[in-house]
Structure 1
Amino acid sequence: MGLHDELITDKIVVGLAALGAYAMEKDLTLEKAIDMGQDRQRRQLYSVITEIPESSESEGSDYSDNDSGYDPGKPSKINQSRDTEINSESEEEKNEEEEIDEEGEMREEIEGGLEKKRRRRWKVKSNDYEGHPPTFQGQNTVNVQTEEPIDMFYCPFPDGLLDIIFHQSNLYAMYKGKMNFALTKPELKVFLGINLMMTYIRYPRLRMYWSSNPGLRQHCIANAMTANHFEDIMRYLHFVDPNNEAGEDRFFRIRPVLDALQTTFLSAMDPEECQSIDEQIIPFKGKHSTKQYIPKKPKPWGFKVWVRAGASTGYMYEFELYQGASGGRGRVGDLGAAAEVVLRLCDKLKWKNHKVFFDHFFCSIPLLEKMKSEGIEATGTCRANRLMGAQAKLKSKETLDEEGRGPHQL
């Protein structure tokens, strides 16, 4: 038996003895311990083989040049197995690297394919457009029937909403310990009427409407409700249970009022053919997380509102208070925050060939394609970086400026 065979045998015996001791210590069977330590034994075996001293005649080594089984130029079987194992490990690592590279190449191919799919080919056409836009399939009629002027007031404030307001206000007063506070529906109507009148007659201080000075006192207000009761209603006015969680909605405390107004605006008049989408400002200088500053507006401070209105009448059909990029929905759509605003406001205009107009803040080619697929004709000014390559075929800004107002190109 050669030296390497003896070392292997001794190592296996020692390994089995060690596994037996490990099995007794861990309360395992020998077979299970062998299975658990198989990889470790193989690594130890290779490390022992690599530590075999080189053959030397002075040490009486069994290896000699005369040994028919020994060829110094030919690796032994053990070394072959070790080299095979190392090579197999290196091949596995290489295969893993190749798989990673293939995945990367595949990802690049997919992304490249998507990019190629998104890439558009533009060509200049004749400006003599002879087509006609699709025929409008809707109708623009007024659906409000009123006999008295007060009926117009009840359109945005139906009895169901008034019931919610005075009920929640009384509950909030009880929650705050104001047991002698009792708001009725007639008093709530008077309170709302006083607020509407105060928007026409403005005083710097609230108590001036009840002033004893005849030149300041507003008798229609002072005779309808006392100043103390008016201030109590202002203090305890509520529209929802304050203990409810807000979630993503930053206007949840006035959501019933907003929903009632939205329902009224949509039902009072059928949408006309041409619609316009833009932003407006509700003036407000108090503290709120959604307050915006838009310097170009007549009233720069306030709540920003997205509005869809009639292009000819200016009637507001639908609105949405600005709550951030996600619109209070927790996420932004694939087309972007501005495009999602347009899609939400136009959700009820599908398949009637409405014509919708908006400016460059909203407009993009994917948005126009999306609206076209839903039966909505859209037109808007578009920024150069959203033209998806079409700017290379269009006239430059300098050329358009030289031509004056009204130039167009297809």
Structure 2
Amino acid sequence: MIFSSDSCSDNDDSSLTSSSCLSDTDDEIDLTNWTVTPMANRDPFQFITNREIRVNGAQTPIEFWKHIFHGNLVQLIVFETNRYAEGICNSSNVLQQHSRINKWEPTDVEKLQLEMYFTTDELLATPIFNKIMTAGRFQILLKMLHFETNQDVNNKLKKISPVVEALRPSFKRLYKPRRFLNVDESLHLYKGRLSWKQYIPLKRARFGFKFFMLCDVNGYILNCIIYTGSDTNYSEKFSDLSLSSRIVMTLVEDYLDLGRCIVMDNYYSSLELFLNLVKRKTDAVGTVRSNRKSLPPDFRNSRLQKNERIARYYKKLMALKWLDKKYVHILSTYHENTTTIIQKRQTQDEKPICMH
């Protein structure tokens, strides 16, 4: 169940503030009382909704795409592209006689929505493109493509924020996910100059934009945050929480109080976060770093044999330490301290159920 750093409110509870979130310094949390046996009722929260796809009448990929990339967004792109191109043409007094910019003509919505942009793939040939527009027309459209007014100079995402803000509600509106949701980050390739460009050597792209994303088990993106350094936009309601907790709570804000289970890796997992999710009737499971605050004190020095495990409990929370090829630490409010058999080609392995 483990996939391999924020909000305490849903849509109907706008009056909730950050004071209802728990931080590591709150007196309400006493994490010295870990027990060997489970304490209170640890049954998973009841999941009170079902998966639903809300795309009436969509049968083909282009019809699904139009539900997400809706007409208002396309109209915005057309308007800003034409306005930007007009400014370029009016301000350019050094254009050569045969410059492509001199041939600019305003674009419109219909041209951006033509289905003939999609090839029939005859040995990867795309002759249809030439029937829609010339190569020069495509290149100048690409040069003039624009999404905003250039007025918000302090917004690092000003070039793309209108598109992101238009797409995010569409992702949520068109699909109601299943019980298990996954929080993780992704790196999108970008080789240009950017003060907040990330370098992550283990990622395939290595350089680019970093996204924090909330996805369902099918990989459908439900919400995302683009990382821009210290200016990253997290919900103000959770400013008292740690950074990793703010990320998760911001992403899952609209999916709380429904009995879902959030799956995450050790960058995000913490007792602070899990206890806040439990307050909102949301389970969580994830690997956790061994040096996280308030883990059971006997975890640090305990020595285990291969496949041996120990578990400690605090309210609905279970902390598990297990020795596979190396030590693995797990937090879960959803699972019990049980195992499952993993069938391999010629052998069987026994793993904790929360690692399956």
Same fold, TM-score > 0.5, yes or no = yes
Aligned length: 275
**Distance in 2 (alpha carbons) for counterparts of 1:396 and 1:335:** 29
Task: Describe how 1:28-43 pairs up with structure 2 within 5 A.
Answer: none
2:272 aligned partner: 366
Instruction: Please tell me the residue identity of whatever aligns with 2:288.
Output: C
Counterpart CA distance in 2 for 1:185 and 1:405 is 62
Code of the residue aligned with 1:340 in structure 2: it is: R
Q: Secondary structure at the match of 1:385?
A: coil
Q: 1:396 to 1:129 in 2, by over 3 A?
A: farther
| Paired position in structure 2 for 1:60 | none
Residue 346 of structure 1 aligns to a residue whose secondary structure is helix
Query: Structure 1: how far apart are the matches of 2:235 and 2:49?
Result: 34
Does structure 1 conserve the Cα–Cα contact (< 8 Å) formed by 2:84 and 2:146?
yes
Aligned runs of 1:223-234 on 2, under 5 Å?
A: 223-234=131-142
Q: Which amino acid aligns with 2:79?
A: H
Q: Alpha carbon RMSD of aligned pairs, Å? A: 3.2
Indicate the structure with greater strand content.
2
Q: Residue 184 of structure 2 contacts residue 265 of structure 2 at CA under 8 Å; is this kept in 1?
A: yes
Deviation at 1:132, TM superposition (A): 1.7
Q: Which residue of 2 aligns with 1:294?
A: 200
Q: CA deviation at 1:296?
A: 1.2
Q: Deviations over 1:138-183 (max 9, x none)?
A: 2211111234423112022111111111111111111112685211
Aligned equivalent of 2:109: 185
Asked if 1:144 is matched to 2:85, the reply is no
Partner residue in 2 for 1:315? 220
Question: Aligned partner of 1:239: which letter?
Answer: F
Deviation at 1:254, TM superposition (A): 1.3
Q: Secondary structure, in 3 states, of the residue corresponding to 2:268?
A: coil
- What displacement does 1:395 show? 6.3
Question: For 1:32-80, what per-residue CA distance to the aligned partner results, in whole angstroms no more than 9, with x for missing partners?
Answer: xxxxxxxxxxxxxxxxxxxxxxxxxxxxxxxxxxxxxxxxxxxxxxxxx
Distance (Å, rounded) in 1 between the aligned partners of 2:26 and 2:47:
36
Unaligned 5+ segments in structure 1 are 1-113, 202-214
| C-alpha contact 1:384 1:391 (8 A) present in aligned 2 | no
Q: TM-score, normalised by structure 1?
A: 0.60
The match for 1:221 is 129
Q: Which residue of 1 aligns with 2:156?
A: 250
Q: Which has the higher contact order (CA 8 A, sep 6+)?
A: 2
**1: CA distance, partners of 2:140 / 2:208:** 26
Is the alpha carbon distance of 1:216 and 1:344 closer, same or farther for their aligned partners in structure 2, counting shifts above 3 Å?
closer
Letter in 2 for 1:169: T
Normalising by structure 2, what TM-score?
0.68
1:350 matched to 2:256? The reply is yes
Question: Distance in 1 between the 2:66 and 2:124 partners?
Answer: 30
Corresponding position: 1:391 with 2:303: no
Partner of 1:69: none
Taking the aligned partners of 1:257 and 1:338, their CA distance within structure 2 comes to: 26
CA distance in 1, matches of 2:252, 2:26: 29
Q: Following the alignment from structure 1 to structure 2, what is the Cα–Cα distance between the partners of residues 140 and 305?
A: 25
Supply the distance in 2 between the matched residues of 1:235 and 1:341 (Cα, whole angstroms): 35
Which residues in structure 2 correspond to 1:51-90 (within 5 Å)? none
Q: Does the aligned pair in 1 maintain the 2:51–2:178 contact within 8 Å? A: yes
**Shift of residue 126, structure 1, vs aligned partner:** 2.0
Q: State the identity %.
A: 21
Question: For the Cα contact (< 8 Å) 1:275–1:356, is it kept in 2?
Answer: yes
Q: Deviations over 1:235-280 (max 9, x none)?
A: 11111112x1143x32122112112221221111112111110111
Amino acid aligned to 1:164: L
Cα distance in 2, alignment partners of residues 116 and 182 from structure 1: 63
Alpha-carbon spacing, 1:124–1:288, altered in 2? closer, same or farther (3 Å): same
**Distance between the aligned counterparts of 1:128 and 1:373, measured in 2?**
17
Equivalent residue of 1:393, what SS?
Answer: helix
- In the alignment, is the contact (CA less than 8 A) between 2:184 and 2:214 conserved in 1? yes
Instruction: Choose 356-365 or 143-152, whichever is displaced more.
Output: 143-152
Distance 1:351 1:329, change over 3 A: closer
Runs of 5+ consecutive residues of structure 2 not aligned to the other structure? 1-24, 90-100, 314-356
> AA paired with 2:279?
S
Alignment check: 8 A CA contact 2:34 2:312 kept: no
User: Which structure has the highest helix share of the two?
Assistant: 1
148, 152, 157: which one aligns with 2:69: 157
CA contact (8 A) 2:58 2:64 kept: no
In structure 1, C-alpha distance between the alignment counterparts of 2:262 and 2:308, rounded to whole Å: 22
Distance change >3 Å, CA 316–CA 116, structure 1 → 2: closer
Are the counterparts in 1 of residues 116 and 132 from structure 2 also a CA contact under 8 Å?
no
Q: Tell whether the 8 Å contact from 1:360 to 1:383 is kept in structure 2 after alignment.
A: yes
**Counterpart Cα distance in 2 of 1:357 and 1:329:** 20
Counterpart in the other structure of 1:284 = 190
Distance 1:387 1:162 in 2: 48
